[in-house]
Amino acid sequence: MFHQFLTKTFLRLSRYATEPEDSEEWRLKKTICVVAVSGGVLSWLGYGLLAFAFNERLVASVCIGASVLFFLGLLSYSVFRRYAVHFYYWFVVHALALTLVHLLLGGFAQSGMVMIWVLIFPIGAPVVYKPRHGVTMFLVVAAIFVIAAFLQPYYLRATNSLPPTVITALCVSNTLGVSTYMLLGAYYYVWRNEMLSRLLLGEQEKAEALLLNILPKEIATILKNENRVIADQFEGASILFADVVNFTSLSAKMTPNEIVELLNEVYSYFDGLVEKYDLEKIKTIGDCYMVAAGVPRRRPDHALILTQLALEIRDYASQHEFWGQRLTFRIGLNSGPVVAGVIGRKKFIYDLWGDAVNMASRMESHGVGGFVQITEATYELIKNDFICKSRGRVDVKGKGEMNVWYVLEKRA
């Protein structure tokens, strides 16, 4: 019950203290300040009643007056909403009231070190306002302490009517009270740093995951640590292009959203196969899907593993319907030397260049739906592991007539 009361009270004070446009940081700062000032209203009132009980009427008047001024400051803040002005107003009221109580009770020892409470504003300024203002306040407080110590022998009153046990209790409670504020401030900074560290770590992990979703891990590491053009020569690599047959006529029957969702479903499955075989997806261009093996991680079985992927893509497409549609893919492969790297500074991707890439694209565009078509270069690398059928010589744009093969299945 008491916990619920405190929670509701804190939420009400938070709504009172903040503005809708405040950031989360400033909402927390203002709420903590208003809660502390509200506690100050009650604390000053309590000190006033204590002084009144021991016939220190002038001290009681100062304490109750400080409580009233704190409360009026809260009311004023609810109207004018000038946080900086009210923060300094509360500091001035607090410092003047403590100085008067210190003087009226006869100095440091006789007042039970009540002046120590003036430290809570310099301590709290970094938490509830701005750190540099805390430094200014600390200099003011230090000057007050030095002046009070210098004038101690000249006070008009060396004793008061408070019993020694009460003075001792006040000394202990004042010291522990300010120490508690200091401890809470330290814990606040530790908590805040932990929260910021977690948020930063979370954002770093998101950025890392996003970068690795765009670039190979090896390339991402180079981009983060080195300032150079990334372009590497690979003497042996294989490239695959897969394209939907009659995609233009198919897309005319579907809405743009349906087309995107269809391609996302199909290519997400392809992505899983790429990850399964530790290959490198290069990009998608419309309905065309491009994959490479042997880059950026060199591997001697680049042609074998990419051919296996091509057969699984062919079989998956032939055995499934997508949004009520049967898809047929033209798939082309080629093997040879390529240059792989990243160019540009914005919206960059890991890409491949070279005649081997162009030939792989020609194998797809000159292919037949439902077949995996390969060049002689790839055929020589896989012929002992896959059953292939010669298609004969095909006139390839830019290359003339070339021998090409269809890959039928993997050998038993």
Q: Which helix (H) or strand (E) holds 386?
A: strand 386-396
Pair 135, 269 in one domain: no
Q: Where are the alpha helices (DSSP H) in 215-341?
A: 217-225, 247-251, 256-276, 302-319
For residue 214, give Cα distances in angstroms to 77, 230, 265, 376.
51, 15, 19, 32
The pLDDT of residue 287 is: 85
**Both tokens of residue 184?**
């809470």
CA distances to 239, 296, 357 from 300, in Å: 14, 13, 18
| Mean pLDDT over each residue of the chain, to the nearest integer | 88
Distance CA 281, CA 20 (A): 46
Q: Is residue 17 part of a domain?
A: yes
Residue 410: DSSP 8-state: E
The SS3 assignment for 322 reads strand
Of the three residues 148, 175, 207, the one that is the final residue of a domain is: 207
Are 24 and 124 in the same domain? yes
Q: With contact defined as beta carbons under 8 Å apart, do 155 and 103 qualify?
A: yes
Same domain for 176 and 318? no
CB-based contacts of 325: which residues, under 8 Å, 6+ apart? 250, 262
Report residue 82's pLDDT band, with 50, 70 and 90 as the boundaries: very high
Instruction: Tell me, yes or no, whether 222 lies in a domain.
Output: no
Please check whether residue 107 lies inside any domain of the structure: yes
pLDDT reported for residue 348: 76
The beta-strand segments (E) located in 164-229 are none
- Considering the domain architecture, whether residues 149 and 39 belong to the same structural domain is answered as yes
Q: Could you tell me if 70 and 110 lie in one domain?
A: yes
The pLDDT of residue 201 = 84
- What stretches of 164-320 adopt beta strand conformation (E)? 230-244, 280-285, 288-293
Q: Which tokens sit at 246?
A: 């009659």
Q: What whole-number distance in Å separates Cα of residue 100 and Cα of residue 107?
A: 10
User: Number of structural domains, the chain?
Assistant: 2
CB atoms within 10 A of CB 257: 8
Confidence band (pLDDT; 50, 70, 90) for 166? very high
Of 207, 242, 269, the domain-final residue: 207
Whether residue 223 lies inside any domain: the answer is no
Tell whether 193 and 235 lie within a shared domain: no
| Distances from the Cα of 262 to the Cα of 241, 249, 276, 287, 325, angstroms | 18, 15, 22, 10, 9
Domain CATH for 377: 3.30.70.1230
Q: For residues 38 and 183, state if they share a domain.
A: yes
Tell whether the model's pLDDT for residue 187 goes beyond 90: no
| 33 vs 316: CA distance, rounded Å | 64
Cβ burial, residue 378 (10 Å; 0-12/13-18/19+): buried
Domain for residue 148, yes or no?
A: yes
Of the pLDDT bands very low, low, confident and very high (cuts 50, 70, 90), residue 258 is: confident
pLDDT value at position 319?
Answer: 86
Residues 254 and 127 in one domain: no
Say if residue 272 is in the same domain as residue 369. yes
More confident residue, 92 or 341: 92
Is there a domain that residue 170 lies in? yes
Instruction: Verify that 169 and 257 share a domain, yes or no.
Output: no
Find tokens 């508690």 and name the residue.
Answer: 180
Residues 6+ apart with CB under 8 A from 276: none
Q: What is d(CA 332, CA 243) in angstroms, rounded to the nearest whole number?
A: 9
Q: How confident is the model at residue 199 (pLDDT cuts 50, 70, 90)?
A: confident
Q: Which domain holds residue 256?
A: 229-410
- What does the pLDDT read at residue 24? 81
Is the residue at 137 inside a domain? yes
- Same domain for 258 and 115, yes or no, is no
Strands 372-375 and 329-342: parallel
One-letter amino acid for residue 19 of the chain: E
Instruction: State both tokens at 383.
Output: 């012929």
**Is 368 within a domain?**
yes
Q: What share of the chain is helix, strand, coil (3-state, %, to 5)?
A: 60, 20, 20
Nearest to 279 by CA among 290, 264, 268, 265: 290
Summarize pLDDT for 273-319 with one digit per residue, the tens.
Answer: 999 999 999 888 888 999 999 988 899 999 999 999 999 999 998 88
pLDDT digits (tens, 9 = 90+) for 212-228: 777 777 777 777 776 66
pLDDT value at 342 more than 80: yes
Q: Are residues 312 and 234 in the same domain?
A: yes
pLDDT reported for residue 228: 66
